[in-house]
Structure 1
């Protein structure tokens, strides 16, 4: 079965009485080059185990199974399970796991399903869970690469450089843990139903942290504070958001110690520059 042929897709869905769910952000691919190119970009090989999120009817699952040693796909919508049983029939290296990716222990699942294999993550992520899903995949700390198709605007935000309008706290989070790379764009016409936005395929490769941080929780607290009020200076943003931890004088002194301009804004700082004041003045014990 051609899982990207629109007529075969409609017949398949009709046969199973399936209806698209807007709340689950379901958009199925109708161009076969898209899942093929995503699977190729993922780096999947016989020595890899691939965790997929939201397989839909399985076009990307199918392409991954042709390359990887094993594919485990986590699907939340139980109405898709009988469809996947049909479309993945005969693919012995594919397992469909019912569940919510945001409530799954990804490190434990990966250890259970991929013994002896290099874990990868690859997915056409539902738009409504893009940021939390990416956060969960990164925080699992087990994937050699994470390749996802997401909204172009989110991909641009993840890859944004300091001083640009798209640069923000999520940019810093993703770039602190990984080296993100925008690979290619996918127009709305490649989906059924067609979304209102263009998609993009992004690959994130884990890397050593680009700054020395001895307390990551505190560092990201400072990051969120720095971007909470973009029009304010870094000193004023931190003062507003961290008033229970520091005085304004503490924050101004930390910024001065780090050699930053008094009127610098958080959106202009790279990761090492954000890390400097976070390290200079640590939060007092609670």
Structure 2
């Protein structure tokens, strides 16, 4: 039940946060990777770069105490936030009581039917986007779940560990790229928007963060014979990065070296080529030759 009287909580102030959370005996959970933003410039910048209006619905993953959520509610038509930590439910009732365009969904975003949630709660909007400050330990699983689910969303904007951001947004064909880079590229175009220092969080993590954006393709940019087998092959391609592609694939996927060498030859590639030398187009072409 929402309280009628309004209290303006400064969610970016350490003392205010302690005062807000202490009645609930709240302690930051290392297992949930909880680090709350206390720099007042970060969330408004995220929302501005997300680009929302009253015709935009937003799915937020992990609202925490609602610091990013409040900015999203101000700029968007509706915000639906999925939160796993039940200790934060009464806190969010307090901090977001003024926003009638906010709705909390209780549960684990990795187990909930996100497509059904979007259909039920955000289907009336012209555009739906995802925004989140993700715990480091679930960055890749959450992003891949969002992409693989093929949700009716146009963009994903998330704050992640800086190292993970560089990997997710790496150009295919460079040393920085890996299997997750290829997976992201398969579904959309990604870029790093800006960096966020560790001092901007409470408690302060040991690493810096970055905000990235993934713009999903309106139409598939790449087509493969079998997506499941394609992604398994991609993992094999990058499984042993220091080895040649022939050795890496033969060891990880169990294909014969002769079969892999034959496919590379048809593509005009040397048998000594490594994963980091392949473009996205070459990876897709190689999969078509190897996957029956």
> 2:221, 2:123 → 1: CA distance?
30
Give CA deviations for 1:88-135 in whole Å, capped at 9, x if unaligned.
112100011110011111111111110221211000111121110111
Residue 172 (structure 1) aligned with residue 173 (structure 2): no
Q: CA deviation at 1:266?
A: 1.1
Q: CA deviation at 1:242?
A: 2.1
Greater alpha carbon shift after TM alignment, 63-72 vs 213-222: 213-222
Q: CA deviation at 1:273?
A: 0.8
Give CA deviations for 1:172-199 in whole Å, capped at 9, x if unaligned.
1011111001000000111110011000
Instruction: Select which of 12, 17, 24 maps to 2:20.
Output: 12
Alignment of 1:122-271 (within 5 A): 122-141=131-150, 142-207=152-217, 208-243=219-254, 246-271=255-280
Q: CA deviation at 1:249?
A: 1.6
Matched pairs, number = 281
Q: Could you state the TM-score of these two structures normalised by the residue count of structure 1?
A: 0.95
> 1:220, 1:161 → 2: CA distance?
17
SS in 2 for 1:102: coil
Partner of 2:119 in structure 1?
Answer: 111
Structure 2 unaligned blocks of 5 or more = 1-8
SS in 1 for 2:204: coil
Q: CA deviation at 1:140?
A: 2.4
Greater alpha carbon shift after TM alignment, 210-219 vs 50-59: 210-219
> 1:280, 1:135 → 2: CA distance?
25
Partner of 1:49 in structure 2?
Answer: 57
Q: CA deviation at 1:209?
A: 4.3
> 1:216, 1:168 → 2: CA distance?
17
SS in 1 for 2:157: strand
Alignment of 1:78-89 (within 5 A): 78-89=86-97
> 1:214, 1:108 → 2: CA distance?
28
> 1:49, 1:168 → 2: CA distance?
32
Cα RMSD (Å) of the superposition?
1.3
Q: CA deviation at 1:210?
A: 4.2
Give CA deviations for 1:213-261 in whole Å, capped at 9, x if unaligned.
2322222121111101111111111111222xx3322211111111111
> 1:127, 1:96 → 2: CA distance?
22
> 2:220, 2:231 → 1: CA distance?
13
SS in 1 for 2:99: coil
SS in 2 for 1:121: strand
Partner of 1:274 in structure 2?
Answer: 283
Greater alpha carbon shift after TM alignment, 202-211 vs 189-198: 202-211
* Conserved 8 A contact 1:210-1:272: no
